[in-house]
């Protein structure tokens, strides 16, 4: 057990190195955590308000207890879906297993440590969801000490089952795809299918509840109706939630205690199942994850000629960046994929709501009518900016190169060309997302063509702005010492800053738009001029100061 804890500590230390790599950066870590906390407050506050409203309604029909079941089941679902991502990264893409295997550590201990790391992430996730529910419920129902104790114990056991399910799913998948020549691509496809499945499930759940608008009253009716609808589906998926809910509800009685024991017993059973299956499937699935396909065949003359055609320096460099981005699974998942999936996320509610057609029709009328044009343009612009800021390609442009950046420093490519080449992939990906989003919107809503043209014309400088800002930020604080590619993009807080800046920019633009009441055309010209100027400024900064920032990176 000691070894398991030691391993866990090592894995977490590796993971957290971006938080405390440099000495004396304790305050920085604190500031970042604070920023994350502040960012979550509005979400949690909204949850508290929602839960409180639901409680009042349900209490009238004596069904308020269903709230706990719903909360536990919903949290379980979120943990399961996020668990798939955590498990992929902790168990499979972190690439540390090959270091641990030769050491005198039992395979079970490695598994245990990895489980604890994933579990810790899950606790943080679960806390933000379940704590507001438990506490609101406790305050409303006047729960005593035992209520909070039982709630805490349920919280402790809660993530184990959904996490185990996620692990089993991923392990089976990885074990039986660790074969054949096209492994890399096959797995990426699998990842895509898993994510698409998650989206599809979300759409399905929304359709089940559609028409209800998931308003408080409707949800109450649904819960009152019993095992049907949303609650039925979710509690059927995670039947143990009922035990957990009953444990807390009857916290002052023996039957509550029995339920709690049952809840724990299921968690322990899940844990044992995980260890049993893990020992059989994990190592054969993770071994050779860094292997790649090799043909060892001579390239034929025509392909050879084509494969060495000269290009200009910056194009060669940009092409290298682009290829590495798409061929490295960790980069692909974190940078390229999000730019395709973000626009698709928007589709889910549109497709799943039965009344969406009317909604869209009214929206399109709204767009065409007079003074709202300017505001809608800003909203579209903000969507592009936020989307570009959630794409971590440019914000990790230097970081992703790792130690390779030092070899690049010995090449006779002008630093300006190198920096422009680094800007290209991220900008291109954001432009692709914008195109998808615009195409989608044009398909569903009757958009005036002037609106579409203006949105694209102002969108491009907006996207460039975010990417320039990201690259400049990464030049200031790149994280070049990473062990695995996963570490470079996942265990790195810079993308968070980029996202924050994107949101602030978008929020400022929206506030400005509401106070100005400009027409569509005025707003288009205004945004365009503003952001082209900002881009020019940042571009000049990049070209003037960028080379010396690069120069200062030493390794």
Partner 1 sequence: MIQLRGVTKSYNGTIKAVDQLNLDVPKGEIFGFLGPNGAGKTTTIKMVTGIIRPDAGEITINGKNIATDTLEAKRQFGYVPDSPDLFLRLKGLEYLRFMADIYEVPQQLRKERIQQLAKRFDMSDALGDTIQSYSHGMRQKIMIMGVLVHHPEVWILDEPLTGLDPKSSFTLKEMMREHADSGRTVFFSTHVLEVAEKLCDRVAIINKGKILFCGTFPEMQQHFQSNHSLESLFLELTKHE
Sort 233 into a burial class: Cβ within 10 Å, 0-12 / 13-18 / 19+: middle
Residue 142 binding partner 1, by CB under 8 A: no
| Helix/strand/coil for 394 | helix
Instruction: Identify which of residues 162 and 426 has a Cβ nearer to partner 1 in the complex.
Output: 426
Rank residues 120 and 316 by Cβ distance to partner 1 and give the closer one: 316
- Which of positions 374-403 make contact with partner 1 (CB under 8 A)? 403
Using CB under 8 A as the binding rule, whether residue 548 contacts partner 1 is answered as no
For partner 1, the binding residues in 271-310 under the rule CB under 8 A are: 290-299, 304-305, 307-310
Kindly tell me which of 284 and 290 has the beta carbon lying closer to partner 1: 290
Nearer to partner 1, 207 or 320 (CB): 320
Residues sharing a CB contact under 8 Å with residue 402, sequence separation 6 or more, in sequence order: 480, 481, 482, 488
Nearer to partner 1, 45 or 287 (CB): 287
Query: Cα–Cα distances in Å, from 125 out to 76, 128, 338, 425, 513?
Result: 10, 6, 20, 31, 35
The smaller minimum CB distance to partner 1, of residues 236 and 311, is found at 311
Least separation in angstroms between residue 458's CB and partner 1 is 35
Among 259, 328, 393, 430, binds partner 1 (CB under 8 A): 328
Q: Which of residues 211-250 bind partner 1 (CB under 8 A)?
A: none
Range in contact with partner 1 (rule: CB under 8 A) among 202-210, 233-241, 321-329, 435-443? 321-329
Long-range CB pairs of 446-454 (<8 Å, 24+ gap) are 446/361, 446/364, 446/368, 447/364, 447/367, 448/367, 448/368, 450/520, 450/521, 451/367, 451/373, 451/376, 451/377, 451/380, 451/520, 454/377, 454/520, 454/521, 454/524
402-441 footprint of partner 1 as x/- string (CB under 8 A): -xx-xx-xxxxxx---------------------------
Please report whether residue 370 would count as binding partner 1 according to CB under 8 A: no
* Terminal C-alpha separation, the chain: 38
Instruction: Decide if residue 317 touches partner 1 (CB under 8 A).
Output: yes
185 lies in the binding site for partner 1 (CB under 8 A): no
How far apart are CB 85 and partner 1 at their closest, in Å? 22
Tell me the DSSP string of 411-444: S-S-HHHHHHHHHHHHHHHHHHHHHHHHHHHHHH
The CA distance from 266 to 225, in Å, is: 28
* Contact in structure between 480 and 402 (CB atoms under 8 Å): yes
Residue number, 42 or 310, with CB nearest to partner 1 = 310
In angstroms, what is the minimal distance from the CB of 414 to partner 1?
6
Q: CA 72 to CA 70: how far, in whole Å? A: 6
The least distance separating partner 1 from the CB of residue 463, rounded to whole angstroms, comes to 26
By rule CB under 8 A, what count of residues binds partner 1? 41
Do 182 and 293 touch, CB atoms closer than 8 A? yes
**Three-class DSSP category at 127:** helix
- Which positions touch partner 1 (CB under 8 A)? 290-299, 304-305, 307-313, 315-317, 319-320, 323-324, 327-328, 403-404, 406-407, 409-414, 551, 554-555
């Amino acid at each position: 057990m000691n070894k398991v804890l030691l391993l866990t500590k090592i894995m977490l230390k590796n993971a957290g190195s971006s938080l405390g790599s440099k000495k004396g950066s304790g305050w920085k870590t604190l500031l970042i955590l604070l920023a994350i906390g502040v960012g979550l407050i509005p979400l949690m506050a909204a949850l508290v308000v929602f839960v409180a409203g639901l409680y009042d309604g349900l209490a009238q029909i004596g069904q308020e207890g269903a709230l706990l079941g719903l909360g536990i089941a919903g949290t379980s679902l979120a943990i399961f879906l996020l668990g798939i991502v955590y498990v992929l990264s902790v168990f499979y893409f972190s690439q540390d297993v090959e270091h641990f295997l030769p050491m005198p550590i039992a395979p079970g201990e490695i598994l245990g440590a990895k489980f604890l790391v994933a579990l810790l992430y899950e606790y943080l996730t679960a806390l933000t969801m379940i704590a507001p529910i438990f506490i609101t419920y406790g305050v409303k129902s006047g729960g005593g000490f035992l209520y909070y104790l039982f709630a805490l114990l349920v919280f402790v056991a809660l993530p184990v089952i959904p996490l185990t399910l996620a692990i089993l799913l991923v392990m089976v998948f990885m074990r039986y795809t660790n074969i054949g020549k096209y492994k890399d691509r096959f797995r990426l496809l699998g990842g895509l299918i898993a994510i698409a499945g998650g989206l599809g499930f979300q759409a399905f759940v929304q359709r089940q509840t559609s028409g209800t608008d998931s308003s408080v009253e409707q949800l109450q009716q649904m819960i009152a109706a019993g095992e049907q609808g949303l609650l039925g589906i979710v509690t059927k998926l995670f039947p143990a939630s009922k035990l957990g809910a009953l444990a807390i509800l009857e916290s002052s009685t023996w039957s509550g205690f029995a339920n709690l024991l049952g809840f724990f017993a299921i968690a322990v059973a899940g844990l044992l199942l995980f260890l049993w299956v893990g020992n059989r499937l994990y190592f054969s699935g993770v071994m050779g994850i860094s292997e790649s396909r090799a043909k060892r065949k001579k390239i034929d003359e025509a392909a050879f000629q084509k494969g060495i055609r000269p290009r200009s320096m910056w194009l060669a460099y940009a092409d290298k960046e682009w290829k590495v981005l798409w061929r490295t699974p960790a980069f692909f998942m974190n940078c390229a994929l999000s730019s395709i999936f973000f626009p698709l996320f928007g589709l889910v509610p549109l497709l799943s709501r039965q009344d969406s057609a009317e909604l869209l029709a009214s929206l399109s009328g709204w767009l065409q009518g007079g003074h709202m044009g300017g505001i809608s343009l800003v909203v579209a612009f903000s969507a592009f900016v936020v989307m570009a800021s959630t794409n971590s390609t440019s914000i990790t442009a230097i970081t992703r190169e790792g130690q390779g950046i030092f070899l690049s420093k010995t090449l006779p490519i002008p630093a300006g060309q190198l920096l422009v080449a680094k800007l290209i992939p991220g900008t291109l990906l954001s432009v692709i997302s914008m195109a998808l989003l615009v195409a989608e919107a044009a398909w569903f809503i009757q958009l005036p063509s002037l609106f579409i043209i203006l949105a694209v014309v102002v969108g491009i400088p907006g996207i460039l702005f975010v990417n320039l800002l990201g690259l400049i930020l990464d030049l200031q604080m790149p994280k070049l010492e990473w062990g695995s590619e996963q570490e470079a993009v996942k265990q790195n807080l810079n993308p968070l800053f980029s996202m924050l800046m994107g949101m602030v920019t978008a929020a400022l633009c929206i506030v400005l738009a509401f106070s100005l009441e400009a027409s569509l055309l005025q707003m288009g010209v205004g945004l365009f001029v503003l952001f082209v100027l900002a881009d020019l400024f940042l571009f000049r900064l990049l070209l003037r100061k960028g080379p010396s920032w690069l120069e200062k990176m030493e390794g």
